[in-house]
Amino acid sequence: MDNLLSQGSKAKPSACSNSLQSPSQERLAHSLQTGNKAELEWAPHFFRSLHWSFKPSTSYENAFGHFDFIATKNNRKLNVEVKAPKVCRNARYSHLSLVLSEYTGITGKPGWLRGEADVILQFLSEDTALAYRRDSMLHKFSSPSEIERFTPYNAPLSQWFGRTGLSRTGKPNQDIIRWDELSFYLNSPHSSLYFLSNNQWKKQAN
């Protein structure tokens, strides 16, 4: 992460579930649990392991700037957005390592890819993480044009799309997102893959 971040200006989910919950409620609970672990446990360990000091963003910065931490090292200060692992529910892609990007949120406001983070720290699992420059990846993507809406089970690959259904507020989803293979991100010079080994995060050798 040092090489990547120096260019800049939630533990493992439990297999237990509450049988009284619907599948959608279980997925939401699972997502919240994993997100909390990524932000409260995995990311702090990641920063400390690579000798970056850090502090949480303010509530305003988190909500409107779309970043969770401010990390500093060697007089450099970077806004870092932490993303927990996400699973694409389209069975056709179950054999692929996929990464989710959000151009527009479910309420129609700019998503975190258009936020103020310098770096996106995307955990792929408890012991694997992808770190990439947000602005570089935003420029690498083509801009959304005509957006089709799909259920999570027939979501397309490598194109912008919206999800059908309602948001948690009961209003129609307005999001614009996309799934891409991990290799798409790693082909960027501003992306790096990290692995947790012997309780220390290490960057994958090129």
E strand or H helix at 1: none
The DSSP code sequence of 190-203 is TEEEEEEETTEEEE
Burial letters 35-68, b for 16+ CB under 10 A, else e:
bebbbeebbeebbeebebebeebeeebbeebbbb
Q: Is residue 182 part of a domain?
A: yes
Q: Is residue 191 part of a domain?
A: yes
Q: Is residue 17 part of a domain?
A: no
Q: How far is CA 145 from CA 17, 102, 141, 203, in A?
A: 39, 15, 12, 36
DSSP state of 173: P
* Share of residues in the chain with pLDDT > 70 (%): 87
Q: Is 172 exposed, middle or buried (0-12, 13-18, 19+ CB in 10 A)?
A: middle
Q: Is residue 183 part of a domain?
A: yes
Q: Is residue 205 part of a domain?
A: no
Collect contacts of 164-168 with beta carbons under 8 A, ≥24 apart. 167/106, 167/107, 168/106
The DSSP code sequence of 79-146 is EEEEE-------GGGTTS-EEEEEEE-TTSSB-GGGSS-SEEEEEEETTEEEEEEHHHHHHHSPPP-S
Contact between 80 and 121 (Cβ < 8 Å): yes
Q: Give the pLDDT score at 120.
A: 98
Give the angle subtended at the CA of 192 by the CAs of 99 and 160, to the nearest 5°: 25
Contact between 167 and 177 (Cβ < 8 Å): no
Q: Is residue 193 part of a domain?
A: yes
Contact between 137 and 122 (Cβ < 8 Å): no
Q: Give the pLDDT score at 170.
A: 86
> What is the end-to-end Cα distance of the chain in Å, rounded?
13
Q: Give the pLDDT score at 32.
A: 84
Q: Is residue 47 part of a domain?
A: yes
pTM: 0.87
Contacts of 92 (CB under 8 A, 6+ apart): none
**How big is the chain, counted in residues?**
206
What range defines the domain where residue 63 resides? 2-10+22-198
What is the total count of domains within the chain? 1
Q: Is residue 204 part of a domain?
A: no
pLDDT tens-digit profile of 6-19?
A: 444 333 333 333 44
pLDDT tens-digit profile of 148-192?
A: 999 999 999 999 999 999 887 889 999 999 999 999 999 999 999
E strand or H helix at 3: helix 2-5
Q: Give the pLDDT score at 16.
A: 37
pLDDT tens-digit profile of 21-57?
A: 666 677 678 778 898 999 999 999 999 999 999 999 9
